[in-house]
């Protein structure tokens, strides 16, 4: 599934420019600098599929990748950059809300959280959006290589506690590192299982 070469399909800056739905869709969301581009590249095995953001928050588009007609991967625009003007944040929220509500083939959103930081208020806002849109989501911890192996279970437990009462949250948390490759097989497996459901 992931072994096939991934192609760039399109980049949609607005809800009017989304590509037609095809097969199952999986989206990745996370605040700027969380390691989303690195994870997209690591998951797909391609070095430059997602643009690793030079300027945080520059990528304001939903980016669509496909390896087969059955599965589309969506790189959602990063959120939470401090210097963003209010209108930009509102435009982002508008687009994301419309995407989440209208995309019936969207099977799961993986919300990326930095292992060192845990869930912050800015992350809670996207979890609220997901709960309201009733879109199933799971938390992926990034940069797991940056915390001591003995501390990781505590980070996971902290995240689990924060999502426990959230209606659309999937209870499994996936620790990953794009640097070491840890957890990538588990994440690919989770996607493969979604497809066979
Ligand atoms: P994005 O803004 O969410 O797309 O984040 P990037 O993928 O551009 O990564 C942001 C920064 O975190 C870069 O300096 C990456 O090298 C670093 N980074 C990403 N993934 C990892 C990881 O798994 N481990 C470590 N140690 N650093 C990472």
For residue range 101-119, list pLDDT tens digits in order: 999 999 999 999 999 999 9
Rounded Cα gap, residues 155 and 141, in angstroms: 9
Q: Which of 32, 38, 40, 41 to mutate to test the pocket of ligand 1 (most atoms within 8 A of CB)?
A: 38
The whole-angstrom distance between residue 156's C-alpha and the CA centroid of its chain comes to 17
pTM listed for this prediction: 0.94
**Domains in the chain, number:** 1
Q: Residue 52 has what pLDDT?
A: 47
2, part of any domain: no
Of the pLDDT bands very low, low, confident and very high (cuts 50, 70, 90), residue 20 is: very high
Closest ligand 1 atom, residue 31 Cα:
3
169, part of any domain: yes
Question: What is the ipTM for the molecules in this complex?
Answer: 0.99
46, part of any domain: yes
Cα 48 to ligand 1 centre (Å) = 13
142, part of any domain: yes
Q: Phi and psi (nearest 5°) for 16?
A: -75, -15
Closest ligand 1 atom, residue 176 Cα:
23
Nearest CA to ligand 1 atom 5: 35
Q: Residue 54 has what pLDDT?
A: 43
1, part of any domain: no
Are 148 and 117 in contact by the 8 Å Cβ rule? The answer is no
More confident residue, 56 or 146: 146
For residue 111, what is the domain's CATH number?
3.40.50.300
């Amino acid at each position: 599934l992931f072994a096939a070469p991934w192609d760039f399909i399109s980049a949609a800056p607005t809800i009017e420019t989304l590509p037609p739905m095809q097969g199952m869709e999986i989206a990745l969301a996370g605040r700027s600098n969380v390691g989303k581009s690195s994870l997209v590249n690591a998951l797909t095995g391609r070095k430059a599929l997602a643009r690793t953001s030079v300027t945080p928050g520059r990528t304001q588009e939903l980016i669509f990748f496909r390896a087969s007609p059955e599965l589309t991967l969506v790189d959602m625009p990063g959120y939470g950059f401090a210097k963003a003007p209010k209108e930009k944040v509102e435009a982002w929220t508008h687009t994301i809300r419309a995407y989440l509500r209208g995309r019936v083939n969207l099977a799961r959103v993986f919300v990326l959280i930095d292992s060192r930081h845990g869930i912050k208020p800015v992350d809670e806002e996207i979890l609220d959006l997901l709960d309201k849109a009733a879109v199933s989501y799971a938390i992926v911890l990034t940069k797991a290589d940056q915390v001591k192996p003995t501390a990781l279970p505590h980070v996971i437990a902290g995240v689990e506690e924060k999502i426990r009462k959230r209606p659309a949250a999937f209870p499994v948390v996936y620790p990953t590192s794009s640097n070491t490759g840890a957890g990538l097989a588990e994440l690919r497996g989770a996607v493969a299982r979604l497809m066979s459901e």
